[in-house]
């Protein structure tokens, strides 16, 4: 065991022992003195080896990870609880010795949804020697894609944009893409709509994050998905959607699919209710049924929209704390353990953060169990083997996490939820999109 594994305190202690041993030999003369010196030297070296070994065993390995995300600023309503989920789960791993004496050290920094800041953070993280990186936004994931390739570092982002995986080797999505979520919602519409071809509008964030599923939904329609896409609206900062809603209503739009964050959706739902446009049941004639992908929904939306959230349909791959499950119980216990308030504890984005930390911990654990060093390369190879009998059964998701060389979209199934009585409740069972496979 090399001396570099020992602490400064241990070296100081060893130095003092050296002085004691050598001091006791200064009164000796001739060969007797030489024999004593040799004996003390052998004893001392044995002590140093044992001390070094014991110290290194006790300290364990430290695996460095990092996360850059919007804790404040745009989309922080999702990023803030997400960061807490990541932080708390890694604290839990270390506190409960889930990896024995080894620990995970994850540096978390706020980038305020600014790609330039994210890039600077990432470069600094590399200097720290990280072996796996947890990114956040679609823009920064796309912007850093080439950097990830050059550094050969596995990356699990909070962005589920399908474009992250194009010409990419090292990005692993936690769950099904925004495209798969949106197409899955459209498939539900087709199967449950009564009447002629349903007319659909898209309400999206004015960024790569929001635009991600637009082209893919159009491709699915072209491939045979029986919907008519009437209009795509990129929302602005306006606090009133009255004009937009009236325009969509005049065009006969019956369903609005949202791909953005909760706050603009909450505003739209309130405006739709004020106008009397919001459907009380799915596909109600003469009304508009509102639906959305992962970052549009959850308990945060209900808190923002209040009664206007009623009958909002939403899909994600995560389990919710509003429904009893082992995963929900574990999440609430984790939040309580680390002093989180009820809002964070019940946020699906807190769940989201926990889940990516679970995947990171699991892949580290599997590499260790093989007796391999935990490196970027070994983690990457192990992630690609996470399928079949080696799929990871996370208690935070409605299906297993699976990756392979040709499939880097984690959980391949979705759950549809609906706000009923002020609470999100499951609609049917977990499902997979049919048309996502046809447009790949």
Residues 358 and 231 in one domain: no
pLDDT of residue 440: 81
Whole-Å CA distances, 179 to 51, 81, 233: 56, 24, 16
Q: Which domain holds residue 47?
A: 3-59
Residues 336 and 227 in one domain: no
Residues 302 and 422 in one domain: yes
Band the pLDDT of 32: cuts 50, 70, 90: low
Say which residue the tokens 């989201």 belong to: 352
Residues 51 and 144 in one domain: no
Residues 263 and 277 in one domain: yes
Computed over every residue of the chain, the mean pLDDT equals 89
Average pLDDT over residues 290-313: 96
pLDDT digit string (tens) for 195-234? 999 999 999 999 999 999 999 999 999 999 999 999 999 9
Residues 200 and 305 in one domain: yes
pLDDT of residue 323: 94
Residue 25 has pLDDT above 80, yes or no: no
Residues 246 and 330 in one domain: no
SS3 316: strand
Domain count, the chain: 3
Lowest mean pLDDT among 3-7, 28-32, 202-206, 394-398: 3-7
Percent of the chain at pLDDT exceeding 90: 84
Percent of the chain at pLDDT exceeding 70: 86
pLDDT digit string (tens) for 354-405? 999 999 999 999 999 999 999 999 999 999 999 999 999 999 999 999 999 9
Residues 153 and 190 in one domain: no
User: For residue 374, what are its two tokens?
Assistant: 């935990």
Residues 77 and 138 in one domain: yes
Q: Compute the C-alpha angle 192/435/155, nearest 5°.
A: 120
Instruction: Give the integer Cα–Cα distance in Å for 240 and 234.
Output: 14
pLDDT of residue 267: 95
What is the CATH classification number for the domain harbouring 87? Answer: 3.40.50.2300
Whole-Å CA distances, 26 to 11, 32, 37, 46: 23, 11, 9, 22
User: Which of 59, 83, 103 delimits the end of a domain?
Assistant: 59
Lowest mean pLDDT among 7-21, 99-113, 201-215, 263-277: 7-21
pLDDT of residue 341: 97
Identify which of 406, 386, 398, 390 has the alpha carbon closest to the alpha carbon of residue 432: 398
pLDDT digit string (tens) for 131-175? 999 999 999 999 999 999 999 999 999 999 999 999 999 999 999
pLDDT of residue 4: 36
Residues 301 and 224 in one domain: yes
Lowest mean pLDDT among 57-71, 129-143, 175-189, 349-363: 57-71
Residues 148 and 118 in one domain: yes
Residue 36 has pLDDT above 70, yes or no: no
User: Which of 59, 86, 102 delimits the end of a domain?
Assistant: 59
pLDDT digit string (tens) for 329-351? 999 999 999 999 999 999 999 99
Buried residues in 164-200 as b, exposed as e (16+ CB within 10 A): bbeebebbbbbbbbbbbbbbbbbbbbeeebeeeebbb
User: For residue 302, what are its two tokens?
Assistant: 């209900």
Instruction: Give the integer Cα–Cα distance in Å for 324 and 328.
Output: 6
Residue 1 has pLDDT above 60, yes or no: no
DSSP 8-state secondary structure symbol assigned to residue 341: -
Residues 420 and 281 in one domain: yes
Band the pLDDT of 14: cuts 50, 70, 90: very low
Band the pLDDT of 48: cuts 50, 70, 90: very low
């Amino acid at each position: 065991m090399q001396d570099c594994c020992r602490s400064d305190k241990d070296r100081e202690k060893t130095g003092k022992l050296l002085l004691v041993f050598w001091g006791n030999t200064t009164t000796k003369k001739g060969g007797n003195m030489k024999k004593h010196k040799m004996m003390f030297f052998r004893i001392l070296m044995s002590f140093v080896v044992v001390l070094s070994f014991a110290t290194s065993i006790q300290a364990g390995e430290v695996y460095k990870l990092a996360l850059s995300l919007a804790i404040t600023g745009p989309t922080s309503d999702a990023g803030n609880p997400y960061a807490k989920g990541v932080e708390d789960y890694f604290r839990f791993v270390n506190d409960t010795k889930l990896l024995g004496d080894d620990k995970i050290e994850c540096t978390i920094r706020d980038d305020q949804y600014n790609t330039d800041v994210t890039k600077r953070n990432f470069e600094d993280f590399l200097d720290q020697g990280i072996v796996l990186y947890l990114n956040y936004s679609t823009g920064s994931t796309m912007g850093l894609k080439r950097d990830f390739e050059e550094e050969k570092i596995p990356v699990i982002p909070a962005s589920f944009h399908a474009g992250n995986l194009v010409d990419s080797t090292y990005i692993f999505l936690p769950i099904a893409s925004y495209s798969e979520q949106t197409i899955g919602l459209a498939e539900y519409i087709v199967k449950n709509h009564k009447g002629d071809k349903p007319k659909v509008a898209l309400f999206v964030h004015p960024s790569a994050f929001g635009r991600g599923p637009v082209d893919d939904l159009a491709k699915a329609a072209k491939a045979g998905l029986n919907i008519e896409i009437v209009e795509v609206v990129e929302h602005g900062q306006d606090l009133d959607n009255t004009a937009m809603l009236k325009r969509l209503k005049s065009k006969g739009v019956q369903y609005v699919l949202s791909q953005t964050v909760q706050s603009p959706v909450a505003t739209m739902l309130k405006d739709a209710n004020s106008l009397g446009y919001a459907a009380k049941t799915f596909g109600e004639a003469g009304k508009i049924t509102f639906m959305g992908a992962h970052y549009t929904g959850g308990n945060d939306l209900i808190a923002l929209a209040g009664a206007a959230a009623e009958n909002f349909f939403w899909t994600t791959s995560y389990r919710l704390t509003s429904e009893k499950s082992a995963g929900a119980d574990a999440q609430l216990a984790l939040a309580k353990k680390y002093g989180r308030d009820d809002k964070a504890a019940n946020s699906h984005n807190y769940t989201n953060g926990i889940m990516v930390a679970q995947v990171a911990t699991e892949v580290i654990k599997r590499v260790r169990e093989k007796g391999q060093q935990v490196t970027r390369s070994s983690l990457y190879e192990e992630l690609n083997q996470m399928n079949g009998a080696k799929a990871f059964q996370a208690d935070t998701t409605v299906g297993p996490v699976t990756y392979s060389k040709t499939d880097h979209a984690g959980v391949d199934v979705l759950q549809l939820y609906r706000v009923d009585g002020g609470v999100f409740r499951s609609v049917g069972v977990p499902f997979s999109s049919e048309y996502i496979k046809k447009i790949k």
